[in-house]
Amino acid sequence: MGVVSDFDFLSAAFAAAPKTPPKVSSRAFRSAIEEALIGSFTRQDLETVLSEELKLPWPLEDSEPSESEFTKRDVIKGYTKDWDLSRLVALARRMVTELDLNEMLIPDLNALLAANDRGGGVGTPPKNLIFAAKGPKPELVLRDAVNNDIQITRNGEYCLVFDQPIPADGLTYRNLIEWWRQRQGFADTVQDRDVGVELHNRLRESLGDNPVETIVFDTYARRYRNNQFDVPALIPQVYLHFDPATQLARRTAGQSGSPLARQRMDFLILFSSRHRVVLEVDGKQHYAEGDAASPRLYSEMVAEDRRLRLAGYEVYRFGGAELMADKAAEMLADFFEQLAERMR
């Protein structure tokens, strides 16, 4: 029987001890990102990965990433210059899902992402984004029930379906512009701004003649001014639940309403694939039947809010009266600034 030295005993004890979760910080994410990229790609491939696969812009006007004196670490630092924690987290998430990284280096990134994700958010990535509905409810079938792939079989002309993967770092207005350009067949010569204006008008149509929802939408849209399209998009009239039966069909069958509360959200912002913010504008119909307050409607509303929050969504409500006040646009602009700062 061999002799176990004190050193061997301590080594075994440390190996068996549970690892301390990594500390989430910009420095930790930056270091893990750099090591994963440096250890996975050659200098030439790295430039291609960052610029073409991840589509990161090069922010340094007085230099190019191809300059020979730049090391791999210099190139990574250049592409991520002045990035805050939220952008680094989003990049790390994209790297583990989109890139062919060295398998030995993935666990460090995953450990940091897991530690970061304990702070909240929705646990599963978004799959189907049906929004901007402006007519009869679409009729859906599951084309592939195993993969939860849907197909709209009727009334598809009254809504929009974002049919591309939702980026891990959130859905920006630029993402929507690129999708809309392809969907509508715009020529490459058409400016992003012109595509964005047409998309804005189509999204706005889904609000109908609702003045308070329009104030919310138009106030947020000012954040896109001067081609600032990398802002997370404000998406109107998004289906959250889907009941295949209409309200009329259920009443005809003797059923009372839909078993799924709040089938559509007024607005949704995807700050990342996990961090989702729901905005609801409450008119009298949300809490009253006619002119009488309805404890039943109010209870249903707050119960659904609880369910959403427990699922990882953040929910913010605006009263119709406050949005009709003289300084409503100013109040909303300040709210959106604070929300964006909180999500950084």
The model's pLDDT over 141-160, given as tens digits with 9 standing for 90+, comes to: 877 776 777 788 888 899 99
At 15 the pLDDT is 47
- Distance from first CA to last CA of the chain, Å, rounded? 58
Distance CA 206, CA 288 (A): 24
Dihedral sign from CA coordinates of 289, 294, 296, 302? positive
Share of the chain above pLDDT 70, in %: 82
pLDDT for 127 beyond 60: yes
Contact predicate 176/224, CB 8 Å = no
- C-alpha 42/C-alpha 60 separation (Å) is 22
Name the DSSP letter for residue 247.
H
At residue 293, does pLDDT exceed 70? no
User: Which stretches does DSSP call E strand in the chain?
Assistant: 129-131, 139-144, 149-154, 160-162, 235-239, 264-270, 276-282, 288-289, 292-293, 314-319
Which residues are bridge partners to 235 per DSSP? 268
| Least confident interval from 186-190, 202-206, 281-285, 332-336 | 281-285
Angle between helices 192-205 and 211-221 (to 10 degrees): 160
For 255-273, the pLDDT digits (tens) are: 555 544 557 889 999 988 7
Highest-confidence segment of 55-64, 118-127, 142-151, 234-243: 55-64
Contacts of 333 (CB under 8 A, 6+ apart): 219, 222
Of the given ranges (70-79, 140-149, 163-172), which has the lowest mean pLDDT?
140-149
Q: Which residues contact 147 (CB under 8 A, 6 or more apart)?
A: none
Count of beta carbons in the 10 Å neighbourhood of residue 51: 16
pTM, 2 dp: 0.69
